Chains A and B, each alone.
Chain A
Amino acid sequence: MSTSVIDAGGHAVAPTLPDVLPEPKRRGRVMGFIYRHPTIALGGSVLGLMVLIAIFAPFLATVDPTALAPAKRTRPPSDLYWFGTDMLGRDVYSRVIYGSRVSLTVGFSVAALASILGTTLGLVAGFTRWLDAIVMRVMDGLMSIPGILLAIALMALTRASMKNVIIAIAVAEFPRVCRLVRGVVLSLREQPYVEAAIASGTRIPVIIWRHILPNTLAPLMVQATFICASAMIGEATLSFLGAGTPPIIPSWGNIMAEGRALWQVKPYIVFFPAIFLCLTVLAVNMLGDGLRDALDPRLAKRL
């Protein structure tokens, strides 16, 4: 006899049992959420912590992160300099705290910029057949150049600044978003309800707003978190290769880049920003994973 019961979410659940058995454990709303989505909880809280650090940096830092003191260069961690000092005598701890601002800003901005650019172009490509071919060729062209090299080339066009780093990395990342959105648009366009909407004279912007965008939101959010993580690592890589944010604004990437030659003798200059970067990127990736699992269980099993 069939005993499978399907609930609203499409999961098979066991049939209700007689009262002989004790009540199942009731968890509070928050605890329930954490239990069901541990990755979102963990990732989100670590990320939240980093954001708080970034916001309250002026209160958390002990000294001005750009204050030079060459007489006190490369001192190991001590009570005065919790993470030690770098090659110019600047306090590594304060720089790392302030560095969170740059790295997080780069991450979030690139994710936002790439999403907006990619979505716009993806919508355009999906709806206009003749533009589709051109846009897709351009996207192919951009994707064929490895992202980091494209970013370096774009940085070479102009002077180093956080704004330019954001634009450079965003340009390297947005083609994938464009492809994603275009794919969604193309598949949705064939749906009967969309065809009906078009047939009944609904204007395109309304269709986009009402039918297309809600369906792109989920995969877009997931993609955006991964772009954020990738952008933070990208900023570190650009700094390593000498094309990143100018050192006058500390970022985890350029603290590591400046200290990399010394990592054998003064490992703390690379070690501390590396830990922070690693934790943050880990948190963002976990958040992305969790979001993906939560928003679309089918997606969890695919990509």
Chain B
Amino acid sequence: MLAYFIRRVLATIPVVLMVALFVFSLLYISPGDPAAIIAGDQASPEDVERIRASLGLDRPFLVRFFEWLWHVMHGDLGTSIFTNLPVSHMIAQRIEPTVSLMTLTLILSLSVAIPMGVIAAWKHGTLIDRLVMMVAVFGYSTPVFVVGYLLAYLFALQLDWLPVQGFTSITEGLVPFLRNLILPAVALGLIYMALLARITRATMLDVLSQDYVRTAKAKGVAQKGILFVHALKNAAVPIVTIVGIGFATLIGGAVVTESVFAIPGLGRLTVDAILRRDYPVIQGVVLLFSFTYVLVNLAVDLLYTVFDPRIRY
């Protein structure tokens, strides 16, 4: 199995490289000039040219790409065009809020979705089943920012229970951390919850109709025991798959959530960088995303072996 994983890791390096090349070439041909933004309204065309030259933006594409690649291999992600800060520093500042948000969202969604899916499967075909699934689909159908605004209005402005915006690190206390993150996590979690509830129900139905479950029932094992011990273990594999796939969807929602609740995370950093053409930051973030994607996939595959002993590499 170790050989498998080594092979997997080696195979992903071309992916990452390819992504880097793709993004880099995209940006190179995109209009929009950071030098013009920097130079400002009063600047003359000559000023803009001089700034562009001093940023090295007038050199050919391949030169810039390989120079950047060379630096990356030495651990240097470059410097932001706008802030003059190292890209790695800017990313490091923003990782914690995004990771905190995604983790809390995951925990919340799982704890709501799995019971939902189980109940729906248990009461398969009845009104409860349909209702649960309707609620789940609703979560999937509303834009995140609408939900975000509604939650903020209700819980922050009207009831005054929670703050409207901001992020507090967990190192400053669990309660302040949760107070800031609970609304964004719920807004974002609705999507995940929908997906997870759906898949839980589907796999539970599958498992429940299997022979060995009927045998267990016949033997008299308590119903709850059957569900939670046998069925969930089998459902774990597809659930983990969805968690992995949904990860990318979640980042899309996270970008919006970070905007609405003013959370200083990676999503907003990337969108701002793209809109301003802060190339080094965009490249650095994209590289980070590729690595994360690869890691998440590897982790998912690893988890498979834990949940399903039949799967071996």
Contacts and interface: CB of A to CB of B under 8 A. Distances in A.
A138 B21 CA distance: 11
Interface residues of B, number: 52
B290 A149 contact: no
Contacts, number: 134
B231 interface: no
Contacts of B203: 301-302
B26 A148 contact: no
A146 interface: yes
A302 B242 CA distance: 12
Nearest to B255: A148
Given A145-B23, A270-B146, A303 B199 contact: yes
Contact of A240 (B202, B256, B277): B256
A301 B248 contact: no
Given A156-B277, A278-B142, A148 B251 contact: yes
A161 interface: no
Contacts of B294: 144
- Residue of A144, A147, A274, A278 with most partner-chain B CB within 10 A: A144
Contact of B205 (A242, A281, A301): A301
Contact of B146 (A145, A146, A154, A256): A256
B52 to A, nearest CB: 18
A66 B29 CA distance: 33
B225 interface: no
A243 interface: yes
Interface string B214-254: 00000000000000000000000010000000001101100
B143 A240 contact: yes
B275 A146 contact: no
A141 B25 CA distance: 14
B32 A156 contact: yes
A203 to B, nearest CB: 33
B109 interface: no
Q: How large is the interface on A (under 10, 10 to 19, 20 to 34, 35 or more residues)?
A: 35 or more
B153 A256 contact: no
A148 B252 contact: yes
B137 interface: yes
B18 interface: yes
B240 to A, nearest CB: 13
Contacts of B137: 282, 285-286, 289
B88 interface: no
A229 interface: yes
A141 B24 CA distance: 13
A137 B26 contact: no
Interface string B288-304: 01100110000000000
Contacts of B142: 274, 278, 281
A153 B146 contact: no
B141 A229 contact: yes
Nearest to B282: A153
B271 interface: yes
A239 B24 CA distance: 24
A285 B140 contact: yes
Contacts of B256: 237, 240-241
Contacts of A260: 145, 149
B54 interface: no
Nearest to B12: A140
Contacts of A241: 255-256, 259, 271
Given A233-B143, A240-B143, A301 B289 contact: no
Contact of B252 (A137, A229, A237): A237
Nearest to A253: B143
A154 B23 CA distance: 10
B31 interface: yes
Interface string A87-115: 00000000000000000000000000000
B15 A141 contact: yes
A144 B19 contact: yes
A234 B144 CA distance: 11
Interface string B78-96: 0000000000000000000
A277 interface: yes
A143 B293 contact: yes
B138 interface: yes
A2 interface: no
Interface string A132-168: 0000011011111111110011101110000000000
B274 interface: yes
A143 B248 contact: yes
A157 B274 CA distance: 10
A197 interface: no
B156 to A, nearest CB: 11
B4 interface: no
A300 interface: yes
Contact of A236 (B23, B143, B289): B143
B75 interface: no
Contacts of B18: 137-138, 141
A141 B19 contact: yes
Interface string A219-247: 00000000001000110110011110000
A10 B98 CA distance: 48
20 contacts: A137-B15, A144-B248, A144-B293, A146-B252, A148-B252, A152-B271, A229-B140, A229-B141, A236-B143, A237-B256, A240-B145, A241-B256, A264-B157, A274-B146, A278-B138, A281-B142, A282-B138, A289-B137, A300-B202, A302-B202
